[in-house]
């Protein structure tokens, strides 16, 4: 643009100074509005999840109209920061257009008033560059703002990683042999545990499970069945007593290492929004042939293959609840094939599946985990039959 008139170069420092102040105002404002946008969307997404989880209740009581009205209110609130962000983007485009218009006026004024400083061809080149200069400036400011916001996100992740206290406490650093636990014996010695400041969930529990035993824990809802398994996995800290596996107190073991040495099928299946391969083997160390063989055993390979095979996304075509339980069984079967693990925990693993799937799961558990210590939690004694 400065080729249009040699004196035009004088405006470059002033233009850079104006751009600095524009991006400074735009950066500070847009960053705060983006944070407000994220905060305003959170209640909307929470409402989505609550509506999905309680859909049967909403339909049963005829609350569709009130649920729809609540969703529309939260949707309107979530759009306010987005509208403000749209406004400030329009302001940015307007200010940059006015800046470029001023530069164009200056070029033409200098060319007409000081004719010796330019030529028709150079003036034409300068005016052509003026036409796209506002878009270039807008992209520059937007990209610079995105870079600054992204760096802020990286800084927050780094701060979270640096400041978050590890769940492992002092003294939980015992070095374990690769073969531990070799037997699978579990013992609770006078164990008591509670959630926060509530009443005791477990009160002086004493239980000794020999290696290879199959134990069923049955009781009503809220009786502490799942809490007992959570103390074994160190997901619930016990206030008194001690838990031992093969005679080794688990309070001295890193919690991550402890959980690596046990297999578990939870009551609510957990699946990652990634490929089938990564869901079966999060470590990425198992060969595809082993995974396919396990999926054939549980009768799911034809279904998975029809959806794209091991590279298919789990969330694009969700599995039914029974299929998800079977998939969790496939996950522990893959674990067992890689390492000779000796403890299997089942928390209501077959309570939501049909009789055919239940029989298949029990058959596989009997055959594949015959040498393991199995601890089964269930509401009904009938769920233990066959194990």
Length of the chain counted residue by residue:
387
Q: In the prediction, which pLDDT does 130 show?
A: 79
Count CB neighbours of 221 within 10 A: 7
Residue 211 predicted with pLDDT over 70: yes
Asked if residue 250 has a cis previous peptide bond (ω within 30° of 0), the answer is no
Range ranked top by mean pLDDT from 48-52, 141-145, 312-316 = 48-52
Is the alpha carbon torsion for 56, 60, 63, 64 positive or negative?
positive
Q: In the prediction, which pLDDT does 384 show?
A: 56
Structural domains present in the chain: 2-163 (1.20.1560.10), 186-384 (3.40.50.300)
SS3 labels along the chain? CHHHCHHHHHHHHHHHHHHHHHHHHHHHHHHHHHHHHHHHHHHHHHHHHHHHHCHHHHHHHCCHHHHHHHHHHHHHHHHHHHHHHHHHHHHHHHHHHHHHHHHHHHHHHHHHHCHHHCCHHHHHHHHHHHHHHHHHHHHHHHHHHHHHHHHHHHHHHHHHHHHCCCCCCCCCCCCCCCCCCCCCCEEEEEEEEECCCCCEEEEEEEEEECCCCEEEEECCCCCCHHHHHHHHCCCCCEEEEEEEECCEEHHHCCHHHHHHCCEEECCCCCCCCCEHHHHHCCCCCCCHHHHHHHHHHCCCHHHHHHCCHHHCECCCCCCCHHHHHHHHHHHHHHHHHHCCCCEEEEECCCCCCCHHHHHHHHHHHHHHCCCCEEEEEECCHHHHCCC
Residue 72 predicted with pLDDT over 90: yes
- The model's pLDDT over 166-206, given as tens digits with 9 standing for 90+, comes to 777 777 788 888 888 888 888 999 988 888 777 788 888 89
Burial 355-371 (b: 16+ CB within 10 A, else e): eebbebbbebbeebbee
Nearest to 203 by CA among 195, 194, 192: 192
Rounded Cα gap, residues 339 and 328, in angstroms = 17
Mean pLDDT across 145-155: 76
Mean pLDDT across 5-24: 81
Q: In the prediction, which pLDDT does 386 show?
A: 55
Q: In degrees rounded to 5, what are phi and psi of residue 243?
A: -115, 130
Mean pLDDT across 49-74: 90
Q: How far is CA 266 from CA 126, 244, 340, in A?
A: 69, 22, 20
- The model's pLDDT over 284-320, given as tens digits with 9 standing for 90+, comes to 788 888 888 888 888 888 888 888 888 888 777 777 7
Residue 387 predicted with pLDDT over 70: no
Rounded Cα gap, residues 170 and 260, in angstroms = 20
Range ranked top by mean pLDDT from 124-138, 146-160, 247-261, 344-358 = 247-261
* DSSP bridge pairs for 378: 218
Strand order in the sheet with 214-218: 214-218, 373-378, 343-347, 263-265
Q: In the prediction, which pLDDT does 76 show?
A: 92
Tokens of 275: 């490929």
Q: In the prediction, which pLDDT does 73 show?
A: 92
Give the distance between the most distant pair of CA atoms in the chain. 101
Rounded Cα gap, residues 380 and 99, in angstroms = 76
Tokens of 371: 């040498």
Contact 376, 209 (CB under 8 A): no
Q: In the prediction, which pLDDT does 39 show?
A: 84
Contact 283, 260 (CB under 8 A): no
- The model's pLDDT over 330-358, given as tens digits with 9 standing for 90+, comes to 888 888 887 788 888 888 776 667 777 77
Q: In the prediction, which pLDDT does 5 show?
A: 67
In the structure, what pLDDT confidence band is assigned to residue 68 with cuts at 50, 70 and 90? Answer: very high
Mean pLDDT for the chain overall: 82
Q: In the prediction, which pLDDT does 69 show?
A: 92
- The model's pLDDT over 358-383, given as tens digits with 9 standing for 90+, comes to 788 888 888 888 888 888 887 666 55
Write down the pTM of the prediction.
0.63
Rounded Cα gap, residues 330 and 324, in angstroms = 10
């Amino acid at each position: 643009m400065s080729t249009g008139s040699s004196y035009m170069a004088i405006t470059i420092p002033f233009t850079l100074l104006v751009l600095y102040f524009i991006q400074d105002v735009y950066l500070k404002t847009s960053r705060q509005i983006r944070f407000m946008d994220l905060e305003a969307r959170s209640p909307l997404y929470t409402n989505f999840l609550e509506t999905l989880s309680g859909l049967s209740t909403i339909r049963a009581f005829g609350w569709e109209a009130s649920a729809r009205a609540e969703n529309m209110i939260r949707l309107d609130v979530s759009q306010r920061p987005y509208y403000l962000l749209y406004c400030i983007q329009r302001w940015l485009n307007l200010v940059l257009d006015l800046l470029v218009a001023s530069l164009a006026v200056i070029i033409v004024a200098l060319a007409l008033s000081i004719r010796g400083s330019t030529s028709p061809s150079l003036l034409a080149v300068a005016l052509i560059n003026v036409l796209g200069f506002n878009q270039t400036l807008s992209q520059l400011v937007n990209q610079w703002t995105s870079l600054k916001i992204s760096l802020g996100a990286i800084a927050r992740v780094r701060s979270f990683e640096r400041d978050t206290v590890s769940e492992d406490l002092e003294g939980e650093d015992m070095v374990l042999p690769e073969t531990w636990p070799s037997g699978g014996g579990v013992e609770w010695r006078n164990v008591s545990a509670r959630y926060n400041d509530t009443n005791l969930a477990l009160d002086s529990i004493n239980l000794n499970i020999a290696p290879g035993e199959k134990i069923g824990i049955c009781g009503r809802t809220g009786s502490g069945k799942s809490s007992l398994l959570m103390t074994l996995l160190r997901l619930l800290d016990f206030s008194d007593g001690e838990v031992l596996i093969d005679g080794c107190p688990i309070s001295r073991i890193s919690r991550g290492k402890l959980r690596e040495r046990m297999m578990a099928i939870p009551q609510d299946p957990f699946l990652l929004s990634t490929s089938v391969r990564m869901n079966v083997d999060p470590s990425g160390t198992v060969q595809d042939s082993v995974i396919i063989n396990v999926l054939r055993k549980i009768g799911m390979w034809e279904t998975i293959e029809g959806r794209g095979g091991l590279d298919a996304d789990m969330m694009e075509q969700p599995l039914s609840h029974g299929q998800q339980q079977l998939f969790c069984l496939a996950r522990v079967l893959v674990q067992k094939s890689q390492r000779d693990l000796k403890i299997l925990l089942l928390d209501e693993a077959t309570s939501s599946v049909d009789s055919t799937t239940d029989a298949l799961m029990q058959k596989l558990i009997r055959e594949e985990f015959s040498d393991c210590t199995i601890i089964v939690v269930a509401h009904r004694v009938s769920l233990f039959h066959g194990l």
